[in-house]
């Protein structure tokens, strides 16, 4: 029995999608490490997203910027989840914003408490 051209080509679609997905994953490159902080305004806030090996990934709080990678030696005073700001001073390029960090941690604690208070859905 002879299959239609449509049926013959149908199996190629998932294979093509898989190939494109794998190619897209391979194209991604790790963030470039910035050896020196860029000139920034004195209150650009960043969250320390994660620390990997000797690199810290900073995510801007204003949602407009790109994540950036900086050497961990510039952030010996901080840990993951802390909020820091750029000072513009080459000797001490980043400082911990203790008030903002405390406020955000409190917000997260309140949200978790509200989620845990909710009753289980009836099945």
pLDDT in tens, 84-104: 998 888 888 999 999 999 999
CA distance 52 to 54: 6
Residue 66: what pLDDT?
87
| Assigned CATH class of 31-117 | mainly beta
Contact 80, 47 (CB under 8 A): no
pLDDT digits (tens, 9 = 90+) for 69-84: 999 999 989 999 999 9
Residue 116 has pLDDT above 80, yes or no: yes
The alpha carbon of residue 71 and the mean position of all alpha carbons in its chain are separated, in whole angstroms, by 16
| Cβ pair 19, 13 in contact under 8 A | no
3-class DSSP state of 73: helix
Tokens for 106, please give them: 């409190």
What are the boundaries of each domain within the chain? 31-117
The DSSP bridge partners found for residue 12 are none
Q: Counting Cβ atoms within 10 Å, is residue 2 exposed (0-12), middle (13-18) or buried (19+)?
A: exposed
């Amino acid at each position: 029995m002879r299959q239609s051209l449509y049926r013959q080509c149908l199996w190629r679609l998932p294979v093509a999608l898989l190939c494109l997905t794998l190619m897209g994953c391979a194209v991604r490159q790790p963030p470039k490490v910035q050896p020196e902080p860029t000139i920034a305004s004195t209150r650009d806030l960043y969250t320390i997203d994660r620390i990997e090996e000797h690199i810290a990934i900073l995510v801007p709080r204003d949602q407009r910027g790109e994540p950036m990678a900086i050497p961990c030696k510039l952030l010996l005073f901080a840990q993951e989840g802390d909020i820091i700001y750029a000072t513009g001073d080459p000797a001490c390029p980043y400082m911990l914003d203790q008030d903002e960090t405390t406020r955000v941690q409190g917000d997260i604690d309140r949200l978790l408490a509200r989620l845990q208070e909710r009753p289980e859905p009836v099945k």
